[in-house]
């Protein structure tokens, strides 16, 4: 065959045409949307069931679901963001919302509200948590609060009788000690929460400060962080919290956590996870608040945490908005979802759910009601780089847990590093 | 020119797929990353030119960069010799005893095939965890082992053991090298009554030098690029306490977790230069210890 420039170009053109051809009618017939969420087995099962329902209602739209655990979720999301192939709809967290909005990765929803997206009856508070700079970027699909999940049976066996809503920082060590000695050391009182960013944040708020101020600078002091690590160091020394080997495995899968594996009687989570944790355990679990500081402001807060966001890369926006709308309004969907993603934002939905709840779900509603008067206001939005600050916190904390560095020195180093990170991210 | 083509055309034809792949798929990203390494780029907004800012920051202010260098160099220094010794040892066993049994070669090669897989990394994490198989074995003889993987003092060694276990590909190359050594040299040495270890030092090692050199260069490059196993074992972030902060893991985190694509590109170029320097060093030093068959005349 004689190869000329023209014949080569011609061949390439023909090739391109043939590959493009079949795609055209396929696109017209099938509409597809991708939904990406972080999950656990229980949540994934529910979500796929919701997808089935949606596809039954809208046979012309194909929904493909992608899921992965929290630990890998943000890495995968960043990769997809970089590659320009984000799913049309992603699950978003308050902690990362501002970062993604400010990078331009999400689309505002305002123009669909009241038209295709029906959220007129939503509680204004939790809904506005999804706003950045006055625009709605994230639809609340569940509110949350921090919770100390405890093993009810272990508490009873050890004869622990404590008001877990009103207890204080001084009560926790005593409870841990009781449980550890009642089990002969086999079950420790609590996970070592030195590395738990969420708990540290509460500690700072109880001291009367936010971790970040409104300008995105670090407002927490060395003192705040040092005393936090010191507090857990003492529990560690007393041998009533989990061993250091367990603690330095940062964010282990749910099944290997202290409470589920039975290594400890308390682990820290978010309230919507109660359902998932109970599903993995035989012993009944209860929900406690993170202990308060006596005569000090409340540190815990209720945050909209499970958001659904429309991404920059979404193509079939109408289909995506229809899907979102079903998530917060369709009765069949709401039944399937239950409270697994947190407390829904719509009073109508909550009312509809009430009669069908399981014991654990009822308990989490009870917990939610009980804490209403014991929480502070939602912290201000977090600056760019907040994700990395948390990583740094966990890393420095594990150095403290391993005994490589004293709490006070580590705290100084951490505050310095954290400020450097947010400065650099600006 | 025509003679050159006639002689070499088949060679270039064979190279063509690689050349096409390189020019169409690799060259663009390589140049882009060089450009990005001089910018601040968060993958969503447009890159901003910062000159040598990334490099200056890396060398003067970034503590984790130096930690990553430290971890990676320690690993390379331990893993490469460990793997090569293991590979040579097994190759010599196979060369002597089991000359005809190719099955063994396949079996010994298997870990190398599996080695970079995610499954093995997860298995490794299980084996060396606090209540993993290794400690259960130790417990049988009354030793209470540490949690190898989560103890920053031992975590790096578990990776070295993993590297040793993946001796397959250098082993095969050693095996080929051993088979190429003329048997009569050993026979002559036998007759002279030379002890085995002397035969090894005076015959095997010198004649194997080119192969050792080849393996050394390849394995060093490989070790610098270790990623997937560490990524899994260290939970993606170099845990515990940055003791497994391999250079590649740090680079990955900077790029895909913290959106610093420009900085990550700069890191990648520095890694390239490091690897190139080590390779050049190996080639320069090879003059003194590697002698080829055809040098002799």
User: Which whole-number Å values give the CA distances from A218 to A188, A256, B296, in the listed order?
Assistant: 34, 33, 69
Residue B214's CB is within 10 A of a number of other CB atoms, namely: 17
In the beta sheet, which residues pair with residue A356? none
Closest residue by Cα to residue A396 from A421, A379, A376, A377: A421
What is the distance between the alpha carbons of residues A99 and A76, in angstroms, rounded to a whole number?
15
The pLDDT tens digits for B218-240 are: 999 989 988 888 888 887 777 77
Which carries the bigger pLDDT value, residue A139 or residue B287? Answer: A139
**Residue A183 C-alpha from the chain's centroid:** 32
Could you read off the pLDDT tens digit of each residue along chain A, which spans 426 residues?
344 545 444 444 444 444 444 444 444 447 899 999 998 888 899 999 999 999 999 999 999 999 998 878 888 888 888 788 899 999 998 888 888 888 889 999 999 988 888 888 888 877 888 888 889 999 998 888 999 999 999 999 999 889 999 999 999 999 999 999 998 888 999 999 999 999 999 999 999 999 999 888 999 999 999 999 999 999 999 999 988 877 877 667 777 788 898 889 999 998 888 888 898 999 999 999 999 999 999 999 988 878 999 999 998 999 999 999 999 888 889 889 888 888 888 888 888 888 888 888 888 888 888 888 898 888 887 888 888 898 899 989 988 998 889 999 999 999 999 999 999 887
Q: Is A245 on the interface with B (CB under 8 A)?
A: yes
User: 């995506």: which residue's tokens?
Assistant: A320
Please provide the DSSP assignment of A158-214 as one string: TT----TTT-BTTHHHHHHHHHHHHTTTSSBSB--GGG-HHHHHHHHHHTT--SB-T
The pLDDT tens digits for B167-178 are: 888 888 898 888
Give me the half-sphere count of Cα atoms (radius 13 Å) on the Cβ side of residue A343.
27
Closest residue by Cα to residue B161 from B73, B233, B78: B78
- CA-nearest residue to B54 within chain A is A424
The pLDDT tens digits for B139-166 are: 788 777 777 777 778 888 888 888 888 8
Lowest average pLDDT, out of A89-93, B3-7, B24-28, goes to B3-7
Q: Are the beta carbons of B227 and A48 closer than 8 angstroms?
A: no
Sign of the CA dihedral running B19, B20, B26, B27: positive
- Give, in degrees to the nearest 5, the angle at Cα A287 between A41 and A153: 90
What is the distance between the alpha carbons of residues B206 and B203, in angstroms, rounded to a whole number?
6
> Rounded to the nearest 5°, which phi and psi values hold at A166?
-105, 5
What is the distance between the alpha carbons of residues A231 and A407, in angstroms, rounded to a whole number?
10
Distance from CA of A262 to the nearest CA of B (A): 15
User: Which whole-number Å values give the CA distances from B271 to A18, A91, A174, B276, in the listed order?
Assistant: 42, 35, 52, 8
Lowest average pLDDT, out of A5-9, A51-55, B6-10, B33-37, goes to A5-9
A100, A262, A398: best to mutate for the B interface, most B CBs within 10 A: A398
Give the per-residue pLDDT at B36.
Answer: 92
Q: Is B261 on the interface with A (CB under 8 A)?
A: yes
- Residue B205 is inside which H or E element, if any? helix B205-224
Sign of the CA dihedral running A283, A288, A291, A295: negative
Closest residue by Cα to residue A291 from A175, A167, A206, A178: A167
Look up the pTM and report it: 0.78
What is the distance between the alpha carbons of residues A187 and A303, in angstroms, rounded to a whole number?
32
Give the per-residue pLDDT at B63.
Answer: 86
Q: Is A81 on the interface with B (CB under 8 A)?
A: yes
What is the distance between the alpha carbons of residues B211 and A232, in angstroms, rounded to a whole number?
55
Closest residue by Cα to residue B36 from B255, B274, B257, B275: B255
Contact assignment for B130 to A402 by CB distance below 8 Å: no
Residue A120's CB is within 10 A of a number of other CB atoms, namely: 8
Q: Helix, strand or coil for residue B53? A: helix
> ipTM of this model?
0.73
> What residues contact B26, with CB distance under 8 A and at least 6 apart?
none
Beta-strand relationship, A266-270 and A143-151: antiparallel
Contact assignment for B237 to A245 by CB distance below 8 Å: no
Rounded CA Rg of chain A: 24
| Mean pLDDT, range B180-190, rounded to an integer | 86
> What residues contact A12, with CB distance under 8 A and at least 6 apart?
none
The pLDDT tens digits for B93-131 are: 887 765 556 777 777 777 767 766 777 778 887 787 777
What is the distance between the alpha carbons of residues B211 and B217, in angstroms, rounded to a whole number?
10
A398 neighbourhood in chain B, CB within 8 Å: 239-241
Cβ-nearest to A82 among B151, B241, B261? B261
Q: Is B89 on the interface with A (CB under 8 A)?
A: no
Q: What would the two tokens of residue A393 be? A: 């916190």
How much of chain B exceeds pLDDT 70, in percent? 94
> Rounded to the nearest 5°, which phi and psi values hold at A32?
-125, 145
**Residue A165 C-alpha from the chain's centroid:** 22
Q: What would the two tokens of residue A34 be? A: 């991708």
In the beta sheet, which residues pair with residue A399? none
What is the distance between the alpha carbons of residues B9 and A381, in angstroms, rounded to a whole number?
64
Contact assignment for B257 to A104 by CB distance below 8 Å: no
- CA-nearest residue to A421 within chain B is B258
Q: Helix, strand or coil for residue A407? A: helix
Q: What would the two tokens of residue B40 be? A: 């601040």
Cβ-nearest to A74 among B45, B257, B261? B257
Q: Helix, strand or coil for residue B98? A: coil
Q: Is B257 on the interface with A (CB under 8 A)?
A: yes
Q: Are the beta carbons of B189 and B248 closer than 8 angstroms?
A: no
- A vs B: CB pairs below 8 A: 70
Closest residue by Cα to residue A173 from A225, A231, A230: A231
Contact assignment for A387 to B151 by CB distance below 8 Å: no
Closest residue by Cα to residue A203 from A220, A182, A184, A218: A220
Q: Is B152 on the interface with A (CB under 8 A)?
A: yes
Cβ-nearest to B43 among A81, A251, A404? A81
What is the distance between the alpha carbons of residues B61 and A80, in angstroms, rounded to a whole number?
30
């Amino acid at each position: 065959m004689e190869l000329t420039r023209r014949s080569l170009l011609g061949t390439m053109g023909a090739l391109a045409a043939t590959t493009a051809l079949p795609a055209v009618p396929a696109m017209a017939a099938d509409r597809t949307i991708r939904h990406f969420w972080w999950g656990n087995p229980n949540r994934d099962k529910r979500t796929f069931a919701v997808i089935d329902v949606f596809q039954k209602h809208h046979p012309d739209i194909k929904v493909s679901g992608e899921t992965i655990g929290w630990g890998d979720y943000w890495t995968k999301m960043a990769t997809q963001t970089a590659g320009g192939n984000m799913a049309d709809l992603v699950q978003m967290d308050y902690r990362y919302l501002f970062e993604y909005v400010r990078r331009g990765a999400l689309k505002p929803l305002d123009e669909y509200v009241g038209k295709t997206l029906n959220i007129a009856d939503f509680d204004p508070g939790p809904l506005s948590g999804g706003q950045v700079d006055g625009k709605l970027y994230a639809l609340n699909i569940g509110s949350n609060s921090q919770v100390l999940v405890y093993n009810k049976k272990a508490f009873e066996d050890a004869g622990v009788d404590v008001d877990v809503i009103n207890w204080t920082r001084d009560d926790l060590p005593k409870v841990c000690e009781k449980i550890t000695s009642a089990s002969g050391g086999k079950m420790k009182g609590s996970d070592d929460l030195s590395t738990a960013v969420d708990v540290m944040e509460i500690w700072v708020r109880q001291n009367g400060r936010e971790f970040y101020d409104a300008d995105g600078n670090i407002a927490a002091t060395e003192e705040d962080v040092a005393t936090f690590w010191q507090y857990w160091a003492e529990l560690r020394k007393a041998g009533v919290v989990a061993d250091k080997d367990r603690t330095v495995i940062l964010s282990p899968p749910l099944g290997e956590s202290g409470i589920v594996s039975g290594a400890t009687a308390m682990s820290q989570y978010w309230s919507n996870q109660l359902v998932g944790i109970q599903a993995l355990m035989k012993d009944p679990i209860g929900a406690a608040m993170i202990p308060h500081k006596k005569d000090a402001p409340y540190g815990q807060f209720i945050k909209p945490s499970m958001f659904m966001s429309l991404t920059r890369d979404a193509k079939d926006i109408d289909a995506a908005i229809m899907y979102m709308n079903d998530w917060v309004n369709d009765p069949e969907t709401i039944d399937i979802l239950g409270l697994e993603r947190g407390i829904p934002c719509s009073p109508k939905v909550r009312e509809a759910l009430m009669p069908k709840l399981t014991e654990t779900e009822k308990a989490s509603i009870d917990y939610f009601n009980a804490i209403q008067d014991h929480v502070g206001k939602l912290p201000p939005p977090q600056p760019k780089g907040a994700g990395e600050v948390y990583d740094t916190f966990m890393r420095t904390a594990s150095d403290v847990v391993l005994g490589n560095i004293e709490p006070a020195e580590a705290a100084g180093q951490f505050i310095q590093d954290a400020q450097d990170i947010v400065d650099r991210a600006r | 020119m025509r003679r050159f083509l006639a002689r070499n055309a088949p060679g270039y034809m064979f190279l063509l797929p690689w050349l096409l792949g390189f020019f169409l798929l690799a060259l663009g990203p390589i140049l882009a990353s060089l450009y990005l390494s001089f910018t601040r780029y968060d993958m969503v907004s447009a890159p901003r030119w910062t000159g040598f800012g990334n490099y200056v920051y890396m060398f003067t202010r970034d503590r984790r960069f130096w930690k990553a260098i430290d971890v990676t160099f320690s690993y390379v220094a331990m893993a490469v010799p460990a793997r090569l010794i293991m590979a040579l040892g097994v190759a010599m066993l196979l060369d002597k005893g089991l000359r005809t049994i190719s099955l063994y070669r396949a079996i010994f090669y298997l870990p190398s095939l599996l080695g970079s897989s995610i499954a093995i990394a997860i298995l490794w994490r299980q084996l060396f965890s606090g209540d993993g198989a290794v400690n259960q074995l130790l417990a049988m003889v009354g030793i209470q082992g540490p949690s190898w993987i989560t103890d920053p003092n031992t975590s790096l060694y578990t990776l070295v053991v993993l590297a040793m276990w993946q001796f397959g590909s250098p082993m095969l190359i050693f095996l080929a090298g051993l088979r190429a050594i003329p048997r009569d040299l050993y026979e002559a040495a036998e007759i002279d009554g030379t002890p085995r270890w002397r035969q090894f030092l005076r015959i095997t090692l010198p004649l194997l030098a080119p192969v050792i050199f080849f393996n050394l260069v390849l394995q060093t490059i490989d070790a610098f690029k270790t990623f997937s196993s560490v990524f899994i074992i260290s939970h993606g972030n170099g845990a515990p306490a940055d003791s497994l902060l391999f250079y590649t893991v740090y680079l990955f985190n900077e790029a895909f977790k913290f959106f610093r694509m420009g900085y990550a590109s700069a890191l990648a170029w520095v890694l390239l230069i490091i690897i190139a320097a080590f390779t050049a060093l190996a080639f320069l030093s090879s003059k003194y210890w590697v002698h080829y068959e055809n040098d002799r005349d």
